[in-house]
């Protein structure tokens, strides 16, 4: 099992859409960034990449690269999912929190979880999204920005293969499909 933790923060600015978890939320300001600045998805991506020891989103999708200007973070999340799949990782669960004084996010959370789950080809119940305020404290509490934290649990396909690296005598035929 591998655990990853992610964090992201973006400043609120006029003239930008507020996108969280791939959901466009009606609000007077949006998050400033090179892409759509979806702090929730960015935190999830960093948690996934960290759990797999694959660096961070800045390495994979640098903000100096024009191809990522204004890109949907959900599209970038799909690529992270492909990287994990290529390396034999299975996402067991994702738990994330958005920290914002305003707007209230309760009604958007199910759609955010669905968007993230669909981007990663996960069944329902694998993604949990929460939202909280900071009671008027700090930059998020003063409405200057929004941050997000995420934690994920990955397993590797190797974790499911009981061979001589794990058990001295191998799996002894415990798996019908493995042929051992």
Bind-site residues:
8-10, 34-35, 42, 56-58, 61-65, 132-135, 139, 142
- Distance CA(111)–CA(108), nearest Å, equals 6
Contact at 8 Å (CB) between 170 and 163?
Answer: yes
The count of other CB atoms within 10 Å of the CB of residue 110 is 12
Q: How far is CA 10 from the centre of its chain?
A: 15
> Using omega within 30 degrees of 0 as the cis cutoff, is the peptide bond preceding 103 cis?
yes
Q: Which residue is listed with tokens 């903000």?
A: 63
Using only the alpha carbons of the chain, give its radius of gyration: 19
- Distance CA(118)–CA(2), nearest Å, equals 22
Binding-site positions for a divalent metal cation read 8, 10, 42
């Amino acid at each position: 099992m591998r655990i990853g933790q992610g964090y992201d923060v973006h400043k609120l600015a006029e003239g930008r859409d507020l996108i969280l978890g791939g959901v466009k939320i009606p609000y007077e300001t949006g998050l400033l960034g090179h892409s759509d600045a979806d702090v929730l998805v960015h935190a999830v991506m960093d948690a996934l990449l960290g759990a797999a020891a694959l660096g961070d989103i800045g390495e994979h999708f640098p903000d100096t690269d024009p191809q990522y200007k204004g890109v949907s973070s959900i599209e970038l999340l799909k690529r992270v999912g492909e990287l994990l799949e290529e390396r034999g990782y299975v996402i067991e669960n994702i738990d994330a929190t958005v920290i914002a004084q305003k707007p209230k996010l309760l009604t958007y959370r199910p759609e955010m979880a669905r968007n993230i789950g669909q981007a990663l080809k996960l069944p329902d119940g694998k993604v949990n999204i929460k939202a909280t305020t900071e009671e008027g404290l700090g930059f998020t509490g003063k409405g200057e920005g929004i941050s997000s934290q995420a934690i994920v649990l990955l397993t590797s396909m190797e974790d499911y293969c009981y061979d001589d690296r794990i058990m001295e005598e191998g799996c002894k035929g415990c798996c019908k499909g493995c042929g051992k």
